[in-house]
Amino acid sequence: MGVKVKICGITTPLQAEQAQNFGADAIGVVLHESSMRHVKVQLAKDIISTVNPGVMSIVLVVNASSNYINRIIEYLNPNFIQFHGDESPEFCNQFNFPFIRAIRMQIGLNVISAIKNYDATGGFLFDSWDNKLYGGTGITFDWSRLPRQRDFPLTIAGGLTCDNVQQAITMVQPDMVDVSGGVETSPGIKDPHLLKLFIEKAKR
């Protein structure tokens, strides 16, 4: 099986269609209001409505309330919720809904301890640490910190571009790579040329 590609921070149905036409395996929308790639719930629904069978729809949330998560599950019914904030295992597990847990790689973080007790059927996404931003940092982290032996799906994110994605795949051997800013001309505006090139390089 080759590496899957997730295009995150999609802000229009057209972007979602373009990404899928170029071979994306997953489409991510961001519901975190502080993000430069934030979309409202109705637009998220319009974007998810374009997602083809066999392509995953993933909704990113940050420290949202349980009531909000339940409404998102009912209204959007994505393939996965991506918890990208400070959510505890108990919080994430309570919905009995498939999720991906994002782990932001703070200096000194023990990865094995950080993933413990999460029933993350979609696995874990490892992203760069920033004390203000929850994702979308545009910077990489030290990939050698990730476990080579693992029993969960691993997604790598954080500062991936057309120039470094092959190096990341060679070093980490992830199940999926996640890109947002690395294929944009400005926040939320995906560049079709970069989308195509990134997906080609990741799958080469």
96-141: pLDDT as tens digits = 999 999 999 988 899 999 999 999 999 999 998 776 665 556 689 9
25 among known catalytic residues:
no
Concerning whether 92 is annotated as a catalytic residue, the answer is no
- Give SS3 for 178: strand
Flag whether pLDDT at 199 surpasses 70.
yes
Whether the full predicted model's pTM is greater than 0.75, yes or no, is yes
Annotated catalytic residue within 25, 92, 119, 127: 127
Q: What is the mean pLDDT of the chain?
A: 94
148-182 in b/e form (b: 16+ CB < 10 A) is: eebeebbbbbbbbbbeebeebbeebebbbbbbbbb
CATH numbers and ranges of domains, the chain? 4-203 (3.20.20.70)
Per-residue pLDDT tens over the stretch 49-105 = 999 999 999 999 999 999 999 999 999 999 999 999 999 999 999 999 999 999 999
pLDDT in tens, 45-54: 999 999 999 9
